[in-house]
Amino acid sequence: MVRKIAEKGYIFLMLGILYAPILMIIIYSFSNTNNFTFPEGFTFEAYVQLFTNAPKKLWDSLLNTIIIAVVSSVLSTLIGAISAVGIYYLKPRARRIVENVNQLPIINSEIVMAVSLMLFFATFGFPQGYVRLIIGHVSFCTPYVILSVMPRLMQMDPNIYEAALDLGASPIKALFKVIIPTILPGVISGFAMAFTISLDDFIITQLNKGASTGIDTLSTYLYSSLRNASGLKPFWLPVFSIIILLVVFIVLFSNLHSYKKGGKKEGK
Amino acid sequence: MKLKDLPKKAVDKVKNFRLTRRVFSYPYILFLLLFVVTPLVIVLVNAFIYDGTLSFQNFVDLATDGSSLKVLGTSIVVGIVTTVICLLLGYPVAYILAKWKSGSVLVVLFILPMWVNFLIRTYALQTIFENMAMTLGMGTVIFGMVYNFIPFMIMPLHTTISNIDKSFKEAAQDLGASPVQTFFKSTLPLSLPGIISGITMVFIPTISAFAISQLLSNNSIILFGDSINLKFENKLYGVGSVMSLIMLALVLLSNFFINKINKGEAAKNLW
């Protein structure tokens, strides 16, 4: 009995520590300060400031973040889905090699990826700006798409594809009627993953955005504001709160969804 | 005869080229070679270029530079302390959650903060430390690292522990082992793959972390990842490349260990 209470207490204590800083941000987003105090009492002023008086740079960087995330996640999903099918049908040895190289961007430290891309772009004189950023984002997002499509292909019954061919479907038709519907859930979750990873990225963007282009994403703009001696403007706290609420909503929703689906499968 | 055969073979090869399914992988293989492998090769080449000539001078520079060695030492200390704290705090969490029916749902709550950008979380910690009038330094950096990376410890541990067959524990108890003995003789050894994954998934990101230690120590503590960035900012491409290679070697080495212990199941544990 004592043990059970201790266990519960420990879990809730850890959760408490984990969530306290995040909750603080949400609470103090209503204080119109950046230092977690309430000098003016409870106020919506920071939110008002955010939507009426925030620097244009904030909205520009938000737009950049979204553009880069959309373009690179769509590209990675297309490349990833198509090549996952190709990789699956490679000869075992070639497949193993490609799968291992595909792992590299996932296991490698981001800082090493970032500097290697920076050197590469500089060596070959790639145009600065979006091109570099999107290539960089695609290179670390695509491996995740492939990893989420691959298990689907492995679960697929190869006889169905053969049966489609026997019944007179052309290989292209069989691809569209058999393989694509099978991998679709993996493609969708791969897309979601690529999109979030691209949104969340800081290091690779920071090192490859190029100082002269003036392109900033939300995270690199935040970083330069954090390093600014005057500290963050109060409007940042509402920005953080909105991001946090979106994350909580999306993660809980997607997990609840997969949990329900998993439960159904087990029930069978 | 032979001369005629050769072109025919080549023609056959071209004729036999069909749009097989494996062809779909070729563009991506090209992409990987171009944008993942080539950049790393360029880092490798840069590590051996000093003043436009091929030499080991960059390695010598790094090995004899006191401040770089200090960075390396600090990184290893911060990395080890962070990893040990994450293991000591995270193991009980994973162990308790594996026992609970609601554990698989609750573990999501431990992983969720990871999806909030680390700059936001680090800013929150920094502000809390400042409000508590704590001096920013080694202690706050380690707290920040533990806070950021403990989900990476809990995740693989929870997966491993909840997959341990319950009959091992029951057998140990039937054979008269006390709960403490059961834990140390059965559960702990069986969760070793999770421990190894957790250790590398915390240690590597900690020493290569960028910006966290700067923000949580007022720029007084610089770790390996920040140092790589600083070297490139100061145009010291050679030394920076050597440091990147060291980091890459560490990553590959630890990944090799994980794969060896998990026998190819490492990828499953990642997400």
CB–CB contact A247 B204 (8 Å): no
Question: What's the pLDDT at B5?
Answer: 58
- Give the distance from residue A64's alpha carbon to the nearest chain B alpha carbon, in angstroms: 16
If one compares A140 and B270, the residue with the highest pLDDT of the two is A140
Decide which of A187 and B11 is more confident: A187
- Give A-chain residues touching B130 at CB under 8 angstroms: 35
Q: What is the mean pLDDT of residues A156-176?
A: 86
Option in B21, B123, B131 nearest A89 (CB): B21
Does residue B265 have a pLDDT over 70? no
Domain ranges of chain A: 55-219
Pair B25, A83: CB distance under 8 Å: yes
Domain architecture of chain B: domains with CATH:
65-270 (1.10.3720.10)
Two tokens, residue A207: 């090192």
Measure A37 CA to nearest chain B CA, in Å: 9
17-56 in chain B: CB under 8 A from chain A: 19-29, 31-32, 35-40, 42-43, 46
In this complex, how many residue pairs, one in chain A and one in chain B, have their CB atoms less than 8 Å apart?
207
**pLDDT recorded at residue B105:** 84
Residue B163 CA to residue B98 CA, distance in Å, equals 9
Assess whether pLDDT exceeds 50 at residue B268. no
pLDDT (tens digit per residue) in B211-262 = 899 899 988 899 999 999 999 988 888 889 999 999 999 999 888 888 887 6
Q: Is the pLDDT of residue B10 over 80?
A: no
The mean pLDDT value for A126-138 works out to 93
Q: What is the DSSP string of chain B?
A: -HHHHHHHHHHHHHHH----GGGGGHHHHHHHIIIIIHHHHHHHHHHTEETTEE-SHHHHHHHH-HHHHHHHHHHHHHHHHHHHHHHHHHHHHHHHHHHSTTHHHHHHHHHGGGGS-HHHHHHHHHHHHHHTTPPPSHHHHHHHHHHHHHHHHHHHHHHHHHHS-HHHHHHHHHTT--HHHHIIIIIHHHTHHHHHHHHHHHHHHHHH--SHHHHHTTT----HHHHHHHHHHTT-HHHHHHHHHHHHHHHHHHHHHHHHHHTT-HHHHH-
What does the pLDDT read at residue B19? 60
| B240/A contact by beta carbon, under 8 A | yes
Mean pLDDT, residues B10-35 taken together: 77
Which class is A55-219 in CATH? mainly alpha
* Mean pLDDT, residues A32-53: 85
A34:B205 CB<8 A: no
Arithmetic mean of pLDDT, B14-29: 74
Quick check: A265 pLDDT over 50?
no
- Who among A35, A175, A226 is closest to B215 (CB)? A226
Chain A CB within 8 Å of residue B102 CB: no
Residue A240: pLDDT band with limits 50, 70, 90:
very high
Segment 106-165 of chain B within 8 Å of chain A by CB: 106, 108-110, 112-113, 115-121, 123-125, 127-128, 130-131, 147, 150
**CB distance from B256 to chain A under 8 Å?**
no
Cβ distance of B96 and A103 shorter than 8 Å: no
User: Tell me, what's the pLDDT at A121?
Assistant: 94
The DSSP H or E segment spanning A199 is helix A180-200
Lowest mean per-residue pLDDT among A164-178, B89-103, B139-153, B242-256: A164-178
Contact A111 B247 (CB under 8 A): yes
Residue B178 confidence (pLDDT) above 80: yes
What's the confidence (pLDDT) of residue B266? Answer: 44
In this prediction, residues B131-147 reach a mean pLDDT of: 91
ipTM of the prediction:
0.87
Which chain B residues have a beta carbon less than 8 Å from that of A250? 115
* A45: pLDDT strictly greater than 50: yes
pLDDT at position A161 over 80: yes
**Best interface-test mutation with B: which of A13, A108, A165, A220 has the largest number of B CBs within 10 A?**
A108
Instruction: Identify the weakest region by mean pLDDT among A219-223, A248-252, B145-149.
Output: A248-252
- Mean pLDDT computed over A243-259: 84
Question: How many angstroms separate the CA atoms of B85 and B65, rounded?
Answer: 31
- CA dist A82 → A150, A186, A188, A215, B33 (Å): 11, 12, 13, 31, 17
Interchain proximity A112–B43, CB inside 8 Å:
yes
Model confidence at B267, pLDDT cuts 50, 70, 90, reads very low
CB contact under 8 A, B244 and A115: yes
What distance in Å separates residue A36's CA from the closest CA in chain B?
Answer: 7
The yes-or-no verdict on residue B14 having pLDDT over 60 is no
